Structure 1
Amino acid sequence: MQVHFHGAAGMVTGSMHLVEAAGKQVMLDCGMIQGTVEAEALNQAEFPCDPSTLDALVLSHAHIDHVGRVPLLVARGFRGPIWAQEATAELLPIMLLDSASLQESEAERHNRKRKPHEPEMVPLYTREDVQTALELVKPLPYHARTEILPGIEIYFRDAGHILGSSIVEVFGDGRKLVFSGDLGPKGTPILRDPESVEQADLVLMESTYGDRNHRDRAETIRELGGILDEAWREKGNVLIPAFAVGRTQELLYWFARHWDEWQMSRWQIFLDSPMAGKVVKVYDHHHDLFDADAQAVWRGTPNPFRLPNLHVTESPDESMAINRIEGGAIIIAGNGMASGGRILHHLKHNLGRRQAHVVFVGYQAQGTLGRRLVDGAKWVRIHGRDYRVNAQRHTVGGLSAHTDQRGLLAWYGAFQPSPPVVLVHGEDTAREALAGEIHERHGIEAELAQPGMTLQV
């Protein structure tokens, strides 16, 4: 078995790894690169192998940085099966159709304004490309070892990151590869804790927060409640960039849990996403994947997805109407790194207001607008125009969907004996710190994946 590293190798986005075993080629994830304009331009590049020669694609979960180039892979010739956990398979059309729609809209907007000498922008893929790709998807439950090709089997375990997120075990040539996907923290509401694995010949492990530990979750929730109270006293809006799957559902969960304590009924809560209603239905279909506390909350009053003051806005006109509100609104909109989507329009209207609060609840990749705001930028450019940043900014790290250094070390520590490990899905500072901790505790020299690197398992 050989593993070739082609994405999320030295960066957090663009997950893509190629496994060769039993004379077959299997790709793990096919994610979109997110960040700077230069980084995102790499999404148009050729794939590391001819897509038509790939035998199968296996997806760890439905976030765009793990699945966002799947329709392009199909458009360029891939015709094999696409294996995904059942909830992931149900989320894929929502995520990919939204991604295609955003790209089509961006291309249309660019071409409408372009000068005669400028080249026409073409979307990375279209909604028709997405539909073609979806016909190849094959859902699998957790804990069902399945032969996906002659001589190659896979097994999904719950990664606790988002609904349907999976730790992927790959068996071939008498060897076992374990790909962590993205690992969630223990104690995350709604989701179950990530499962442990005890044996592997090689581990590919994410390292997003390999250099730090999150704040205690209880402290984080108190902080969130304090931010909301402060914003209410200052008569401002609260903007929360959040991806449609994951942190959005957790935020609504906490609003329901602290309904009386935080006086949530005084707010107008907007979930500004054309995907939101569809995602809610997927969650409703998969209560069996919830932890016990979440199942109890879902049966209680108010239900997190049916809060009496929750407005799910789908149309552009509904979204634009929110911007007439100068205070008393909590606006949750995508995307989570503020690198696109409807949150940009709300930021344009609110960043100049001193009473406004912007709350970041997830990782902000280098080069994204979210990262610039977190780093304290005084001016930012949105849709070609510069905006002064007067709004107050908060980073609530304890709500991250990724586990921290402590959690990563605990997950790796469950292997007996400690296998070779390659760190992916992390910036170098995070990977180097995690590699140092692994060596100190287990005597293993962790490899830092680099684009084009190949390892024999």
Structure 2
Amino acid sequence: MDEQLPVTITFHGADRTVTGSCMEIASGESRILIDCGLFQGSRSLETLNYRTFAFDPDRIDAVLMTHAHIDHCGLLPTLVAAGYDGPVWCTPQTRDLLDVVLPDAGRLQESDIARRNRRADRATERPLQPIYTVSDGERAARLARGIALQQWFEPAPGIRARLWNAAHILGSASIELSIGGLRLLFSGDLGPENKAFYPDPEAPAGFDHVMCESTYGDRTFAQPTIRQRRTLLQQEIRQALARGGNLVIPVFALERTQELLLDIASLINAGRIARVPVYIDSPLAGQTTQIFARHAEALEDLGRGRVFDHPAFHFVETADESMALNDVSGGIILAASGMCEGGRIRHHLRHNLPRPDSTILFVGFQSAGTLGRAILEGAKRVRMSGRTIPVQASIRRLESYAAHADQDGLIAWLADRAPISGSLFLTHGEAKALDMLSARITEGGLARSIIIPQMGERYALAPAVPASLEGAALPEAGAAIGSDWRNSYADLLVNLQAKLREIPTAQGREAALRRMTEMLAISKAEQSVPPED
């Protein structure tokens, strides 16, 4: 029997938020990370990406990667730049994806920061620096080591691990750890029922402690079959094209793009929609689609006929080709990023949001504080790159492309992992999702101890007993979660003129502006007063 050593887990991200996934497991002198993801959302949340790591990168023996989405792998280049040079264990498919995802993330960092620094409203401010560069991404990708599902390996002395299909995206995995006499399971992101390309998630049962994602812990939604999903997409495409403008779909370059291409190709091949041009405006989407084609023999649901190389598909590479799409009307444009926080989708939104004949179709989760969330929640105007953009396009949403299990799916997955004799940690979710999922789990008696960790907390883990808190949360991390003052400022700015016009007289508008100025001065003065002893 293995010797039981003290084991701790420290949560460094995706705690009471859905991005920045990173957990540190320590046992004796051995230390590993589960994921090392980028924070995405409000500007305040993004500032966490610039922090010095709360651990020493030189002391980390290995990183185990659940999948290649940027909120799970996107800080690997920073980790490498800080001195880490150990292995990054993952499935072979994830390894192939990291080869393109991480350098592209560096390119986006460089281009996004260059764009922000060019803005007129930043002319007098200190230039921003990218979190990391293309070369940092390339160095990190070279550390990836592929390991097959369900094959035991030893990432660090005294720690054994194996990967299980999570059915979320290509190569996604849940991670099982055996440390002495302790059994741990990390769900990673879990796919829903009827997910294209993969069989349902799987993993063993009977763990001491389980760390489970909670992205959709507050909702249940219809689980259409692939055929039903295509019918829903067919209706959206027909209605959008009947309006005469473009159908613009914000997408994640990895997985969501390929699912849409699969369904659009199938609808065209079956004669259910017209063969209109489909523009995939993301170099990364083109590269990841090639990787899907390379692994096609392991994918389900491809059907007959051409899919990833369909003649209706046009992969847009250069910036000039992307800008030329501003003159397109009556086409389908898929562009990254999925939450509209960066990438080429933003200039397509600038040109299509003001058009009443265009349609913006959301097919993925929109995190709090993102531009996508603001548009989806009914904003009449949005602030983009220092400009106010009116929202006159039709805003639509399809939940049938959810890449995460809903509340029922998470409950079913947890029930199959029972018994959980120690603690169940709920991560990777916003407050409402975490609270509602926790209540449902308590009601069903699926776990004796449920913990919703905060960023920075460290817990001691032992067999068959609830985890105990050893280290406190980081207060600045909690303050960064959700929308921040910049979101409120943007909302005020885009609606200020309309609100002023609602005041019937010029004198009333002048008085309102004067009161706002006075309030800002009072607030500034209050902040400058030193606190009493």
Which TM-score band applies after superposition, normalised by the shorter structure? Answer: over 0.9
The unaligned stretches of length 5 or more in structure 1 are none
Correspondence for 1:70 among 63, 66, 76: 76
8 Å contact kept, 2:119–2:386 = no
- The 4+ residue runs of structure 1 with deviation greater than 3 A are 110-117, 218-221, 260-266
Unaligned runs of 5+ in 2: 1-6, 462-533
Where 1:160 maps in the other structure, the secondary structure is coil
Task: Give the TM-score taking structure 1 as reference length.
Answer: 0.95
Question: 2:39 maps to what in 1?
Answer: 33
Query: Structure 1's 371 and 113: CA in aligned 2 closer, same or farther, altered over 3 A?
Result: closer
Structure (1 or 2) with the larger CA radius of gyration: 2
2:364 matched to which residue of 1? 362
Q: CA deviation at 1:443?
A: 5.1
Residue correspondence of structure 1 range 45-444 to structure 2 within 5 A: 45-113=51-119, 117-218=124-225, 219-259=228-268, 263-291=272-300, 293-294=301-302, 297=303, 300-301=304-305, 303-326=306-329, 328-419=330-421, 420-442=423-445, 444=447
User: Which AA in structure 2 matches 1:441?
Assistant: G
Instruction: Give the distance between the partners of 1:272 and 1:348, measured in 2 at CA.
Output: 15
Q: What are the superposed Cα offsets for residues 341-385 of structure 1, whole Å, 9 maximum, x if unpaired?
A: 011010000001111111111110001111001111111111111
> CA shift at 1:204, angstroms?
0.4
CA distance in 2, matches of 1:131, 1:167: 25
CA contact 2:238–2:273 (8 Å) conserved in 1:
no
Q: Deviations over 1:242-299 (max 9, x none)?
A: 11111111111111222255643431100111123321221122234312x33xx2xx
The one-letter amino acid paired with 2:458 is T
Residue 235 of structure 1 aligns to a residue whose secondary structure is coil
What corresponds to 2:455 in structure 1?
451
Give CA deviations for 1:386-422 in whole Å, capped at 9, x if unaligned.
1000011112112111110111000000023234210
> How many percent identity over aligned positions?
39
C-alpha contact 1:22 1:173 (8 A) present in aligned 2: no
3-state SS of the aligned residue for 2:417?
coil
Q: How many residues align?
A: 450
Aligned Cα RMSD in Å? 1.6
CA shift for structure 1 position 116: 6.3
Cα contact 2:39–2:71 (8 A) shared by 1: yes
User: Would you say the 8 A contact 1:265–1:309 is kept in 2?
Assistant: no
Within 2, Cα distance between the matches of 1:405 and 1:242? Answer: 23
Q: Displacement of 1:110 after TM fit?
A: 3.4
Please tell me whether the aligned partners of residues 240 and 361 of structure 1 are also in contact (alpha carbons under 8 angstroms): yes
Cα distance in 1 for partners of 2:21, 2:168 equals 15
Q: Deviations along 1:70-122, whole A, 9 cap, x unmatched? A: 00011011122111111001001211111111111122233445766421221
Q: Distance in 1 between matches of 2:327 and 2:198?
A: 36
SS at match of 2:47: helix
2:23 counterpart of 1:17: yes
Distance in 1 separating the partners of 2:372 and 2:296: 32
TM-score (norm 2): 0.82
SS at match of 1:373: helix
Query: Relative to structure 2, which stretch is displaced further, 445-454 or 235-244?
Result: 445-454
SS in 2 for 1:304: coil
Verify the 8 A CA contact 1:217 1:399 in the aligned structure 2: no
Deviation sequence 1:325-344 (CA, Å, 0-9, x none): 12x21101101111110110
